Structure 1
Amino acid sequence: MNRATSVVVLVLLAGLGIGATYFAQHTGAPLISAQQRLIDSRNLLDLLAPDSYDNQPLDQPLALEDIRLANSMLLGGYLATKAGQPRAVLLRSQTLGYEGSIELLIAIGANGKLLGVKTLKQSETPALGGKIADWPNAWLQAFTGKSRTDPADTGWALKKDQGQFDQIAGATITSRAVISAVHDALRYFDEHPQALIGSSTHE
């Protein structure tokens, strides 16, 4: 085989390799996207009871992006509905902990009560503040059923700060950050029901 023929063969093989790679990526992309969406869906929707909504909340994002609140920032959110009626909002909130940012998912029912709180991302100290990443999480479950007015604003603090909540052992800063972020989200919901659930009042 002469040199020119070898070059042609190499070019053809390279072309076939590139074509095969492109074909695999192109045909596999929808499957990968669907699998990632399923993972995201499970991760984001497990705060909601399966029978509490009948839409695809991830297909109904709320018009929220980088909204600065008193102690945190809203990064986005989703609306859950049933029979066309709003049932809950899922708010993605970011706050600053001891080691870095903490991203939370905060589920609030259409009546303004907390359905649950979950940690999506965090970089806190393992075995201390990092415990907020555990799921299910007993400390975060203490917020379920609370609202903007239950407890009153002064109650949204650690017991050591004359509030109503215990702290994660050895993680005062992390605990304060999460409590403040949850309170921020409830306050935002209470002040913007029209934008979030299309109603000027809670159910």
Structure 2
Amino acid sequence: MTRMANVVVIVVLTSVGVGVTYWLQRSSAAQIAAEQQMLDSRRLLDVLPAQAYDNQPLAQPLALIDIDLKHSKLLAGYRATKAGQPVAVLLRSQTQGYAGAIELLLAIDANGTLVGVKTLRQIETPALGGHVGDWPNRWLQGFAGKSTAEPADAGWALKKDGGQFDQIAGATITSRATINAIHDALRYFDEHRAVLLGSGT
């Protein structure tokens, strides 16, 4: 076989290899994207028990109004349903901590009770306020079961401020900001309950 023939064979084999690789990548891209989306979704939604809903909440964001709250700002909202009935609303909230923005995801059930909350982003001081980003988070789990009625407004503060909540050790500002953002989200849910649950306009 001549040198030119060898070059042609190599070029053809390379082209076929590239073509097959491209085809395989294209044919599996949708499946890979779907699986990645499911993993991302589960990571975000682990504040809500998987058996509690059967839809894909993140695929259908809610149109939120009046998103600038007293101590925080809402970035997004989602509705979780089971058998077509609303079971919870997820609110993505941002507040200002000690070192920068803290982004939270809160799950609130149809009765206005907090199911769970997790930190999605934060840049607080490591080993102090940075603990707000730990998952699972014992301190944040202490808010599960709370609502605007339990405790009453005055209770939504640190114990050192006359409220009912402990703080993250050495992180007063981070703790205050997080408590205020959670309270804001619960109040927002109460004020917009019908729209958030899809039972009103």
For this structure pair, what is the TM-score category when the shorter chain's length is used for normalisation? Answer: 0.7 to 0.9
Aligned partner of 1:196 in structure 2 is 196
* 119-128 or 37-46, larger mean C-alpha shift: 37-46
Contact 1:100–1:122 (8 Å) recurs in 2: yes
Counterpart residue identity of residue 165, structure 1: F
In structure 2, what is the Cα distance between the partners aligned to 1:98 and 1:27?
47
Per-residue deviation, residues 125-172 of structure 1 (Å, max 9, x unmatched): 111111111111110011100001211111111011111100000000
Please, which runs of 5 or more residues in structure 1 have no aligned partner? 1-11
Deviation of 1:85 (Å):
1.1
Residue 118 of structure 1 is matched in structure 2 by 118
Q: Is the 8 A contact 1:57 1:79 kept in 2?
A: yes
Task: Quote the offset at 1:29 in angstroms.
Answer: 3.6
Q: Which residue of 2 aligns with 1:91?
A: 91
User: Equivalences for 1:24-173 in 2 at 5 Å?
Assistant: 26-27=26-27, 29-64=29-64, 67-173=67-173
After the TM superposition, which segments of 4 or more aligned residues of structure 1 sit over 6 Å from their partners? 15-22
TM-score for the superposition, normalised by structure 2: 0.85
- Unmatched tracts of structure 2, length 5 or more: 1-11
Question: How far apart, in 1, do the equivalents of 2:24 and 2:73 lie?
Answer: 39
Structural RMSD (CA) = 2.6
| Partners of 1:97 and 1:173 within 8 A in 2 | yes
Per-residue deviation, 1:111: 0.4
The percent of aligned pairs where both chains have the same amino acid is 68
**Cα distance in 2 for residues equivalent to 1:190 and 1:184:** 10
Count of equivalent residues: 198
Indicate how the Cα distance of structure 1 residues 24 and 126 shifts in structure 2: closer, same or farther if over 3 A, else same: farther
